[in-house]
Structure 1
Amino acid sequence: MNSKRRYDFVKNRNIFFIASAAVTLIGIIMVLAFGLHYGVDFKSGTSLDLSIGKTTEKAQVEKVFADTGLTPVILTMGGANNDRFSARYDEVLTEDQVKTVTTAFVTAFGNQVSSEVNVVSPDMANEMKNKAMIAVGIASIAISLYVTIRFEWRFAVSAIVTILYDAFFVIAVFSIFRLEVDLPFVAAVLTTIGYSINDKIVILDRIRENLRFSKLKTDADLAELVNTSIWQTMGRSINTVVTVLLAAICLYLFGSESIKLFALAKMIGLVSGVYSSICLATPMWYLLKRTSLRSVKAAPAKANS
């Protein structure tokens, strides 16, 4: 491939660094100022899932809730025939309140109505939130150790910084757009970390392989090696992300309401993972390696003087 016709990722690295830093800064401000929009999994409340067995309009369902005096904070509808819906309450409903709602729907739509109630107490919500953070932390540390042992420290630093960026990018997007954070979201963040490190190892491993047969004398030689390695793995990176992205898009479009946000988080993480692998991790390694290359050159010069 002609190096003059392909995009130079190393030369344009500052564009990616500045854009990524801006997104990270906005995300930090949003998380600190507004926090995350926790779902019922991470805060006390009640989730009431009902199936009414027939097609209906959302306005009809809202009217039934209004008549009971127990209007949910969030109401989502789904199912093949729009016959299922999920009602989310910020408070823990009593058995009598749940019975009032289910009785109202049986009266309105018939005996085919079925329901499922999930209640999360304040203690349980805090416990699940803490365990979710521990899970993300353990996964990040384990991956960091693996990369550190398998590769040299420059590869490890580049990979670790950018997988943390990918995980935070998903969190930042959900914070900015006030999307609900629940257990499936945590699963999406963990899979994002796993996919992201896999993509980075492919590119970094190619750089390491090319290093064995290269003679680096100048910064331009190093930049050419990095760009060549990126383009050699570009097809694999794009094919992999497109394949998984299509599956995530199908989950989002045709899946149930309960997994839509998981699919969305997965889509965001996939795009961020391939972006950071190509545009952030490799240029970052280039900067670290360039500093080492210059220091090696400076040492003999001092010795000769």
Structure 2
Amino acid sequence: MLYKWLNAIDYVKNRKKFFAFSITITILGILTLAIFGLNRGVDFKAGTTLDVNGDKPLDKARVEALIKEAGFEAKTLTIAGSNNNHATARFDTVLAQADVTKVMDKLSGEYGTMTKEENTVDTELANELALKALYAVLIASLGIIVYVSIRFEWRFAVAGIVALLHDAFIVISLFSIFRWEVNLPFVAAILTIIGYSINDTIVIFDRVRENMRFAKLRSFNDLADLVNASIRQTMTRSINTVFTVFIGALLLFIFGSESIKYFSLAMILGLVSGAYSSIFIASPVWILLKNASLKRPAAPAAAKE
């Protein structure tokens, strides 16, 4: 039923509706980012992460209470380990060594001897991490542009990068709108989404290029028929791939640990956005660029001697 409905859509004819939908979310994201920014996690702002291990099972509520008794409050607290004997506490502030000692004294008094591992991110390092994360995304995008330009043509590269940036920004916008925490796993998810998105888009572009070998493109309608046919021919592959990976990401989100919760959530959103942009955004953008070349007047023939 789903495939039948998708195959009945005229993707080129309805391109303005798809563009309007994406532009609306993008504008909302820009406004939210401009007003509130991102809800940066401890990886991208000053703070301390404290990992502790003990011999006894740890109760989350009790550990939180002990940390408060020491005069602090953890931004997040995760209990893990085969015997629930490992705790990871993230603080929004940088804890001095004396502060860490206070927390450990409270925990040791309740649960006996415990070992700790302390990681502190200062403001300068946090800003550097955020900047390098941005560089990683830009470098990945540039590499994809170069590859697609060589492998296909520049119009495919432009359309592919529009879809790629669309996916990344949609996920970032949703995280900003709903104030979900942005951390290093989130950056890993964005880079994964970029790779997945361009891969899905390339499959459709490759079919478009193959079909162009046997098509006579003289008008916009010829291009529209070519793109619609190419999308329908790759629809089953696109949907099945997205569905398979989506189930894996969803199970990670439901059953995975707290530390990868936002990674899984970003992956889920990115997979949906990637499938959407590959079908509804990338090819319609390419057809607009290609149509402009069809309208360009042919170069005058050389004069015969």
Q: Which TM-score applies when normalising by structure 2?
A: 0.89
Secondary structure of the corresponding residue to residue 10 of structure 2: coil
Pair 5,261 (structure 1): closer, same or farther in 2 beyond 3 Å: closer
Q: CA deviation at 1:93?
A: 0.6
Deviates more, 1:238-247 or 1:201-210: 238-247
- Offset, 1:289: 2.0
**Contact 2:250-2:268 within 8 A present in 1 as well:** yes
Gaps of 5+ in 2: 301-305
Q: Aligned letter for 2:75?
A: V
Structure 1 equivalent of residue 106 of structure 2: 104
CA offsets, 1:69-114, max 9 Å, x none? 1112333445566554432212211112111112211222233x44
| Structure 2 counterpart of 1:93 | 95
Which residue in 2 is equivalent to 1:245?
246
Count the aligned residue pairs: 298
Q: 1:2 to 1:167 in 2, by over 3 A?
A: closer
Q: What residue in structure 2 maps to residue 63 of structure 1? A: 65
Task: Give 1:19 deviation, angstroms.
Answer: 0.4
Preserved CA contact (<8 Å) 2:58 2:86 = no
Shift of 1:187: 1.1
Q: Which 5+ residue runs of structure 1 have no aligned equivalent?
A: 301-305
Q: Whole-Å Cα distance in 2 between the matches of residues 4 and 129 of structure 1? A: 39
- Aligned in 2, Cα 1:254/1:5: closer, same or farther, shift over 3 Å? closer
Identity of aligned residues (%): 53
Alignment-derived partner of residue 303 in structure 2: none
* Pairing partner for 2:24 from 6, 22, 25: 22
Q: Secondary structure at the match of 2:43?
A: coil
Which of 80-89 and 26-35 deviates more? 80-89
Partner of 2:123: 122
Counterpart of 1:232, as a letter, is: Q
Q: CA deviation at 1:210?
A: 0.3
Deviations 1:34-84 (A, max 9, x none): 111111111111012334555555332222122111112333445566554
Write the mapping of 1:39-188 to structure 2, written as runs, cut at 5 A: 39-52=41-54, 54-55=56-57, 57-78=59-80, 83-111=85-113, 113-188=114-189
What is the match of residue 231 of structure 2? 230
Report the residue type matching 1:254 in the other structure. Answer: F
Give the secondary structure class of the aligned counterpart of 2:42.
coil
Superposition map of 1:177-216 within 5 A: 177-216=178-217
What amino acid sits opposite 2:148 in the alignment?
A: V
**Alpha carbons of 1:256 and 1:286: their partners in 2 closer, same or farther (altered >3 Å)?**
same
CA contact (8 A) 1:78 1:257 kept: no
**How many angstroms apart in 2 are the aligned matches of 1:234 and 1:84?**
46
Task: Give secondary structure in 1 for the equivalent of 2:13.
Answer: coil
The amino acid of 1:211's aligned partner reads M
AA in 2 matched with 1:277: S
Q: Secondary structure of 2:116's match?
A: strand
Give the TM-score of the pair, scaled to structure 1: 0.89
Q: How many Å separate the matches in 2 of 1:2 and 1:255?
A: 35
Alpha-carbon spacing, 1:137–1:5, altered in 2? closer, same or farther (3 Å): closer
1:115 Cα deviation from its structure 2 partner: 3.1
Classify the secondary structure of the residue corresponding to 1:196.
helix
Counterpart code for 2:154: W
Distance 2:82 2:149 in 1: 48
2:58 and 2:79 in contact (8 A); partners too: no
After the TM superposition, which parts of structure 1 deviate over 6 Å for at least 4 consecutive aligned residues? 1-5
Code of the residue aligned with 1:125 in structure 2: it is A
Q: Contact (CA 8 Å) 2:196, 2:274: kept in 1 or not?
A: yes
Q: State the secondary structure of the residue aligned to 1:41.
A: helix
Kept in 1: contact 2:7–2:232 (CA 8 A): no
**Tell me, what secondary structure is at the counterpart of 1:72?**
coil
